[in-house]
Structure 1
């Protein structure tokens, strides 16, 4: 067989054979983590805190338990990651350091005034599940408070502190300011018993609360 025959034979081989044997490349860890967290969040909502296991999440992700444990060593670690992802649907923090829009506009972004209906339903479903089942696993509720509201308040205080340094607002204490701002606006999260007709109705309420905060903290 001469060189031209060998070349033609190689060209006729399937591309898989030419590449050689071996496993196809798997997802990079950041992508895999994001997919696992999303599946875990949906599973927690469906099966609850006690009903969700790492085995179930691994099965639904079509991965081995060893792969799951490599990224999330325990159910608590997985729950922490889910809470952190959920926190981003509640407050969009931290903010880009170069952001230079009017304060009211940035606060509106932080509190996600433009949230779409699907994301709103998903975050409400997670909050509802947690509220209904918090008594079942108090140890996870400690995690929820630490990784959820506590971290959000700290991040918001850091942002307010930065705005104070830039001379854009005046507060005696950024932590207290963060607490007040969250009290003003987080009460607007959710519908039903709060009487919002729709997201636009709630948005109008939150815009008025933001305007009140901005006026009250404006430098003299």
Structure 2
């Protein structure tokens, strides 16, 4: 009788069915990483879902379950890229000076490997959007426009807290993005716009200082 009870308890503890070796989130991350490398190598037009599945060593059925189309896969890469450009949203209890917060939001001191990865995607996006209008639409909708809105929302929150004065948060967000990304992103064919990273970093901090000074709350009339 005791042996049967022990067997029953052991059976209850034993997991049912075939165990999952990797969850869907991990698979998505693997797919996005492999797809990004394939896009860099072959371009948007040269990349197929069959090829991505083969390089990920998974069935097409699994790939299409997680990403129903190449468009949705590229959207996921845009979202990942946006996270490498913007550290938003911010912690609700953050209490940094405005200039320090903006430096962190724009990740201006990222390392060289991160910079190379970011520029590889930007150059891919610029070249492919000329051939594929859907790429330009995706980049605008899920990249630039969404990033600008997130930054505008953050600026609006700073104004609500009385930390800045700004007439138009959307315009301010666009202004900041133009200043910062204009200096951070090298144009195709002009990789050496800055003599060194330190010079560019000083310029970026200068841009942030000018913006910060312009939105400081006015403390009464002189």
Contact map agreement 2:163 2:216 (CA 8 A) in 1: yes
Deviations 1:189-211 (A, max 9, x none): 12445621232221111000000
Runs of 4+ residues deviating >4 angstroms: 19-24
Task: Indicate whether 1:41 and 2:36 are aligned.
Answer: yes
Query: Residue deviations 1:84-107, cap 9 Å, x none?
Result: 101111112111211111110110
Aligned match for 1:119, one of 93, 114, 125: 114
Shift of 1:42: 1.3
Q: RMSD value over aligned CA atoms?
A: 2.0
Structure 2 residue runs without a partner (length 5+): 4-13
The residue aligned with 1:168 is: 163
In the alignment, the residues of structure 1 paired with residue 72 and residue 127 of structure 2 have an alpha-carbon distance, to the nearest angstrom, of 21
Gaps of 5+ in 1: 4-18
Counterpart Cα distance in 1 of 2:22 and 2:185:
36
> In structure 1, how many angstroms separate the alpha carbons of the residues matched to 2:46 and 2:152?
36
Residue of structure 2 aligned with 1:90, choices 82, 85, 89: 85
Number of aligned residue pairs: give it: 205
Q: Deviations over 1:84-136 (max 9, x none)?
A: 10111111211121111111011001111121101110111111122122222
Structure 2 match to 1:217 = 215
Q: 1:66-77 to 2 correspondence within 5 Å?
A: 66-77=61-72
Matched, 1:63 2:63: no
Bigger mean CA offset, 61-70 vs 207-216:
61-70
Using the size of structure 1 for normalisation, the TM-score is 0.87
Deviations 1:136-191 (A, max 9, x none): 21112201111100000000001001100111111011111101111111111124
